[in-house]
Structure 1
Amino acid sequence: MKDKTILITGGAGGIGIETAKAFLEQGAKVALVDISSEALEKTKKSLNHPEMTLTIQADVTKEEEVEQYVEKTVESFGSIDVFFNNAAIAGPATPIKDLEKKQFENIMDINVTGVFLGLKYVIKQMEKQGYGSIINTDSNAAYIGSAGMVGYIGSKHAVAGITKTAALEVADSGIRVNAVAPAAIDTQMLSGIQRNVSPDDPGSAGEAIKQGIPLGRFGTPKDVAEVVLFLASERTSFVTGSLYNVDGGMQAD
C-alpha cells in the first residue's frame, strides 16, 4: 500500500480510524471524510501522520459535497486507489408502526444514498485511472431481520445488492467492488444499539448479543480493518462482488 491513496468515509468513527491506522502503517496516504470537522481534527492528531492525512468535512447524503470530497482527494494526492465506503448509522430501535417517516428516511439517506453517491463519483475517477478497489461497509444485517430495526436492516440489505451490482458494472474497467459485513464490533454504534434495545440496562443487551457469538467476544475495529486491508490489496485481485463476514461466526450459527 506504500504511496497508495485511500479514501475513507465515516473516517472519524471507530472502524474508520482503525482502518486509517492500518493503511498509514503500510505507507499509504489517507483522506478521511466525516460530517464532524471537530471529530476529524481530533482523529488527524491521534493518527500522528499529518503529511499523509487529509481531512474533509462533508455530508455523504449531499451530492455536491460527495463530488467535492472526491475532487479534493484527487487534487491533494493525485488518485484514489482504494475507497472504503464506510459511513453509516444504526438509527432508533422502533417498531415499524411507530417509526417516523423522517427517521426512516434519515437512515436510508446515510446508509444507502451515501453509499450510492460515493460509488457514483469514485467510480468515475477510477475509470479514468483504469483501476481501483472499493470496499463498502455492510453488516450481518444484510442477511437477517431484526424487530425494531427496519431502517438499518433494510439499508444493509440494499448495500449488499448495490455492492454486487456495482461489481458487475465495473468489472471490465479494472475496478473491484466488495463489502465487509461486520457484526457485534465494539464501537460507539454497538453501544448505541445496546442502549436502544435496553435503555435501562444496556449491559444486559450486550451480554445477550455476546452469547450469540460463537467466538465468545465482541469484535474490534482492528478485526474489520484487517479484512478491509486484505480486500484492498492485490492478494484479492480475483475477488469482486463478495461480502466478507467479520462476525465471530454469527452467520454460520
Structure 2
Amino acid sequence: MERLKDKTALITGGISGIGKAIAEDFLAEGARVVITGRREELGAKVASRLGTTDRVVYVKQDVSQEKDWENATQQVIENFGHWDILVNNAGVGGSGKLIAETSLADWQKVTAINLTGNFLGIRTALNKMTQGSIVNVSSVLGIITPMSGIGAYAASKGGTRTLTKAAAVEAIQMGKKIRVNSVHPGLVKTDIVSQDVQAALENSPEPISQLGKPQEIAKAVTYLASDEAAYTTGSELVIDGGTLAGR
C-alpha cells in the first residue's frame, strides 16, 4: 500500500472535504503531507488528528496570494526536505446567481481561488520542482454546464481544465519530469453541495443517483500522484457517476 512512499505532497484546501480525504489516502500510502487552508483552528485540529508532525503539517494559506505560496512551499522544504506532489484542491462554490446578476466582486472571489490559485500553484511547482506530479481538482462542470447559476464556477473549473493541459506541455518543453493532470468530480458529498441538491439528485435520472464520496475522488488523485501514472500527463479523469455518459 506504499505507493507514495518517500514522497512529499502539498495539498491545498486539505483541511476538509475532498482535500482532507486526499491527505488521509496519501498518508496511508506512505507520503508526508503539508495541508493548507485559511481556517487556522480547524487546520491545526485536522493535522493533529491525521498524524504526528513528522508526517503531516498544517500551514495557513490563501491560495490567491503569491506570498502565501512562497511560505507554503518553504514549509514543505523545511519540514520534509523535498517536494514531489502538488494537489491544487482549494476551491469555493459560486453565488448561484445568473451571469446577468453576478457582481464583479462575486466573479473575482470565485476565480481568485479556483483559477488564479491554481495558476499560482502550477507556476510555483514548475519553478521549484524538478520532477513529480501536479494534480488539479476541477469539476465535471468544467466540461459541461447543464444548469444556470454556475457561470463563474464553471468558468473557473473549465479554465483549470485547459490550464492543466497547457502546463503539461510546458513541463515537457522545460525538460522537467513533472506530470500535470486534472480530476473532474461530479457531485460529491461535501459542504459545498447543499441539502436541496442532494435531495434532488436522489430523484434524478442520472446513471448513479447518489453523491460521490470524497474518498472515491482521493483514490483517483493518489493514482495520478503515484509512479503508476508515469505515462499520464495532460489528461482529465472524470469521476461523476456516469453524468457525462448519460448526456
- Specify if TM > 0.5: yes
Match of 1:234 in 2: 227
SS of equivalent residue, structure 2 residue 193: helix
Aligned to 1:163, the other structure's residue is in SS state helix
Counterparts of 1:213 and 1:20, CA distance in 2: 29
- Residue 71 of structure 2 corresponds to which residue in structure 1? 68
Range 7-16 or range 49-58, more displaced: 49-58
Q: 1:10 aligns with which of 13, 16, 20?
A: 13
Residue 56 (structure 2) aligned to one of 53, 57, 70: 53
1:187 paired with 2:190, answer yes
Match of 1:139 in 2: 139
Letter in 2 for 1:207: A
Q: How many residues align?
A: 239
Structure 2 equivalent of residue 152 of structure 1: 153
| 1:138 to partner: Cα distance | 0.5
Q: CA deviation at 1:226?
A: 0.2
Conserved? CA contact 2:9–2:32, under 8 Å: yes
- How do 1:1-253 residues align onto structure 2 when only pairs under 5 Å count? 1-127=4-130, 131-145=131-145, 146-171=147-172, 172-191=175-194, 202=196, 205-210=197-202, 211-253=204-246
Q: Distance in 2 between matches of 1:148 and 1:53?
A: 38
The answer as to whether partners of 2:22 and 2:219 remain within 8 angstroms in 1 is yes
AA in 2 matched with 1:152: Y
Matched residues in 1 for 2:38 and 2:54: separation? 22
Distance (whole Å) between structure 2 residues aligned to residue 159 and residue 3 of structure 1: 28
The residue matched to 1:46 in structure 2 has which SS?
helix
Higher helix share: 1
Q: Aligned-pair RMSD on alpha carbons?
A: 1.2
User: Alpha-carbon deviation of 1:250?
Assistant: 0.7
Amino acid across the alignment from 2:190 = T
Return 5+ residue gaps in structure 2 as ranges: none
Deviates more, 1:69-78 or 1:225-234: 69-78
Asked if the contact 1:96–1:150 (Cα under 8 Å) also holds between the matched residues in 2, the reply is yes
8 Å contact from structure 2 (residues 198, 211) kept in 1? no
> What CA deviation, in whole Å up to 9, does each residue of 1:31-73 have, x standing for no partner?
0011111110121122133321111101101111112111111
Instruction: Output the TM-score relative to the length of structure 1.
Output: 0.91
How far does residue 101 in structure 1 lie from its aligned partner after superposition? 0.8
Confirm or deny: 8 A CA contact 1:212 1:250 kept in the other structure: no
**One-letter identity of the residue aligned with 1:151:** A
Q: Answer yes or no: is the 8 Å Cα contact 2:201–2:210 preserved in 1.
A: no
Structure 1 segments, 4+ long, off by >6 Å, are none
Contact 1:136/1:178 (8 A) holds in 2:
yes
CA gap 1:101/1:212 in 2 versus in 1, 3 angstroms:
farther
Query: 1:232 is aligned with what amino acid?
Result: A
Partners in 1 of 2:96 and 2:80 — Cα distance? 40
Q: Deviation at 1:170? A: 0.2
Counterpart CA distance in 2 for 1:212 and 1:60 is 36
Q: 1:10-30 CA distances to partner (integer Å, 9 max, x unpaired)? A: 011211111111111122100
- What is the alpha-carbon distance in structure 1 between the residues aligned to residue 42 and residue 217 of structure 2? 21
8 Å Cα contact 1:213-1:247 kept in structure 2: no
